[in-house]
Structure 1
């Protein structure tokens, strides 16, 4: 089964190494770099999650894949919801990890613009103070120095232009709860127990909105649960993928 996993901000597809290794024996795991991150090109389009979602659709076309399970963590979840709006016929299932369906309130959108401007002016070192502290749970910060170091390195290596573009794209995203309510495929919401950016309460609201939704809580993990607790994350994802996929009957 094709499974597309979309990475968190401001990382790259490298974050999915444990998922590629853990799930590839039973599934075709596809982990692209979203535009501007990793090895991908940013391009000239105006900032929009819809642009990223269409990139994913073109990737499926290029690989001859009609439908897939599409999921993402954090920003990757936002792109997944945009994909659900624009390409619902391409879905077998949906995975939304440590993300949220609501639009940014005005103060949060302004803060994204301020961060975009700061990164363009001073570089990604800004992210070490402004973004990195919220990405990892307290257990990881206290006990998993290698994970912390890996995330810090990925954060600081991001392209300033891509970081600014992505911040502006996320600031402009719409509320996606109606999109979730309209999904006719199975969906899994995953949240780290220690996630303070998109906490469990928001994940529970998303799961309730989904007609065929379920919730998995990853213990001792923060906003990057796939990196912080990869074994637990993989178990939850594998169990979901083992279930029936595709459009569900409402009868």
Structure 2
């Protein structure tokens, strides 16, 4: 089973181009979309446990982007025997530094205080490369629709995540890493730190290559699935 895990602050609709091509499931994460509300702090382990309950005892290929990739790695850390393969897009396996951890906590407080709109309009140009208006409209709509308290809770959980490189090496599985060439959040040098079987760079895409260049993203996923 292919399980698609969305990023922050999005919802399951970010996977629309992939759901049109692959036999997959794409749930809304706790605190986002139509899922149950969240507040305070949502740990990465909570997200992973939620996903594990969706498909008990079924071998999974996990595909996650950004925060979704970190949740996929947390799932693998907790349930390595249930993971057949990983597809990790525009994400990092490293834990936060002291400064970046504080930045996440500050952002969580800001989202609670200001709501989603100031943040969404501020980061949109980093989420989607210039010229892709259709993807940008979709991404902005998702960000504006995200519940601020759920998004803030996830940021607090991400602030405390572990470094996943050790668990990835301890329980190796076929791993595809995908990254947009214009991604400022997780550039190629960052994603290449993930222990990977294959690395694919998608030219002209920023942080959401699955929406910006869906055919190229889908082709990379299809080739990987066929090989593994």
Structure 1 regions of 5+ residues with no counterpart? 245-251
Between 192-201 and 174-183, the greater mean CA deviation after superposition: 174-183
Aligned runs of 1:63-212 on 2, under 5 Å?
66-137=58-129, 141=130, 143-206=131-194, 209-210=195-196
How far did residue 180 of structure 1 move? 1.7
* Structure 2 CA distance for aligned equivalents of residues 184 and 176 of structure 1: 12
Contact 2:41 2:154 in 1 (8 A): no
How far is 1:42 from its partner? 2.8
Aligned residues, how many? 228
2:10 corresponds in structure 1 to 11
SS in 2 for 1:71: strand
2:215 maps to 1:231: yes
Q: Deviations over 1:112-145 (max 9, x none)?
A: 11111111112111312443332122xxx2x211
Of structures 1 and 2, the larger Rg is shown by 1
Root mean square deviation of aligned Cα: 1.4
Instruction: Answer yes or no: is the 8 Å Cα contact 2:39–2:150 preserved in 1.
Output: no
Cα 1:185/1:176, change in 2 over 3 Å: same
2:55 is aligned to 60
SS of 1:168's equivalent in the other structure is: helix
- Preserved contact between residue 4 and residue 69 of structure 1 (Cα < 8 Å): yes
Offset from partner CA, 1:44-63 (integer Å, 9 cap, x none):
784200100011100012xx
User: Is the 1:193–1:218 contact (alpha carbons within 8 Å) kept by the matching residues of 2?
Assistant: yes
Pick from 35, 43, 49: which aligns with 1:40?
A: 35
| Structure 2: unaligned runs, 5 residues or longer | none
- Quote the Cα distance in structure 2 between the aligned partners of 1:230 and 1:89: 30
Distance 1:44-1:58 versus aligned 2 partners, 3 A rule: farther
